Chain A
């Protein structure tokens, strides 16, 4: 059993779950996105500080399973300091990874790569993509 589970719950995922990076909320003038997964109750409150087309800061709050919260932690870590365009590109790569497709491995994925095992657990893909959807929604509102 545990070898299958190890595909899903890698140590780095558990580390992000137990010790989330960028937990909290940016107070002033930040983009605020609230999103939930209505089928299971996972919820994320994401704040993004975007200046000159660049994500200067990103924080999240929320409740959910290990996969959804670890993914949120990794996402904020990854997009911080990236341009909106780069963040969206990363998001596309992440979607492809979740769908089990070949993805652009020229991009530096770092911790995010640990989530690739989620694609083997169809019921859990939505957990992993929640934070990324919230980020996409936030930056697309900003550019409108």
Chain B
């Protein structure tokens, strides 16, 4: 287990009472909290370096450019990309996946081609492909899930064919917590000549990413779920693919030469970063990476497995509580999605909130998955580096009192 007491001390927001109780923040799947290291890095940028990048002759402009490009190098190392040309800053995971769909997808897909996703995708990895399928006449196919909410490679092989051009799959499910065998799926996609896109939104905060080991063609993730600020994310792409792709946003920053009727683009990665980039966001993300690497991604993954195992053990003692997703805690990240008897998850979340415990309730931006689970909504507790076993004990106590409260009222 991590030293959560020390880690918590870096997160000022956690040191407060909510509805008269010390805050227990268990909605990390939605967004993580930010440590002072990240807040200070953004503050320092605005207080001492703020300037536009890649254009000034002046000193501040150089400082801002160095910090911004320095953050790109931190991301490169964080995901083990070959070059910073392969690291594009975006607004988040959604923008990153849309860039692949609109640039690579529109240029390479035609009628009858296939796009393969799964039933456990977040809306951000469904709708860009639905739109691409509509525009190109391609077919969108779903890989069915096993009963425990995992993917079997057999079904992956059955679904991906020689007509498949794009396979796009979530690394860690934001609802089930399932960790998918991305490396093996990538290999199958490549055997059929398809490119592999990985939605890494829930993976980047929690485990060591290595794009070269995975051999995926694209990877998307967001800064705000990994201690960074909102509004910054990353699209990784293999250089050979990005090189051939056209920008989807045109304007300042991304141009090389502008004529009256035609223009040329900058080199990678800047041709995909039209307009003044998200400078403070990228610097904040760089600081978040430093912070997480200081703790150690392997340690973080281990911590979350332990919390998930502990939570599942304790929560399963509550009569009438059902947990969704893999039973084996080793197969899941620190995400536990559940329902309590016939108490609606909104009501569960409100009762927990009255005890200072923040959980998510709803469809978690995964309506097709809710349909697969045959429920309208669920409640979700998702853990991070500052959460401890005591937090889970508080959750269990809260759930027991929710159960008691609703039993009493009826």
Chain A positions near chain B (C-beta within 8 angstroms): 1-2, 4-5, 8-9, 11, 14, 18, 39-43, 63-67, 121, 123-124, 127
- Identity of the chain B residue whose Cβ is nearest the Cβ of A6 in the assembled complex: B409
Task: Please report the total number of B residues contacting A with Cβ < 8 Å.
Answer: 20
Chain A residues with CB under 8 A of B212 = none
- Identity of the chain B residue whose Cβ is nearest the Cβ of A4 in the assembled complex: B354
In the complex, given contacts A1-B19, A127-B346, what are 13 additional A-B residue pairs having Cβ atoms less than 8 angstroms apart? A1-B355, A4-B354, A39-B362, A40-B362, A40-B377, A42-B376, A64-B346, A65-B345, A65-B347, A66-B347, A67-B347, A121-B350, A124-B346
Question: Which chain B residues in 361-383 approach chain A with CB under 8 Å?
Answer: 361-363, 367, 370, 376-377
In the assembled complex, the CB of B372 is this many whole angstroms from the nearest CB of chain A, namely 14
- Count: A-B pairs, CB below 8 Å: 54
Check B377–A41 contact: CB distance below 8 A: yes
Chain A residues with CB under 8 A of B345 = 65
Chain A residues with CB under 8 A of B377 = 40-42
In the assembled complex, the CB of A61 is this many whole angstroms from the nearest CB of chain B, namely 13
Check A64–B19 contact: CB distance below 8 A: no
In the assembled complex, the CB of B242 is this many whole angstroms from the nearest CB of chain A, namely 34
For the complex, give the distance between the alpha carbons of A18 and B19 in Å: 28
> Could you list 18 examples of A-B contacts with CB < 8 Å?
A1-B351, A1-B354, A1-B401, A5-B351, A8-B350, A18-B410, A40-B362, A40-B363, A41-B363, A41-B370, A43-B376, A63-B376, A64-B344, A66-B346, A67-B346, A121-B350, A124-B350, A127-B346
Check A65–B346 contact: CB distance below 8 A: yes
Which 8 interchain pairs have the tightest Cβ spacing? A65-B346, A65-B344, A41-B363, A40-B362, A41-B377, A63-B376, A14-B409, A41-B376
Chain B residues with CB under 8 A of A67 = 346-347
- Identity of the chain A residue whose Cβ is nearest the Cβ of B363 in the assembled complex: A41
- Identity of the chain B residue whose Cβ is nearest the Cβ of A43 in the assembled complex: B376
In the assembled complex, the CB of A20 is this many whole angstroms from the nearest CB of chain B, namely 13
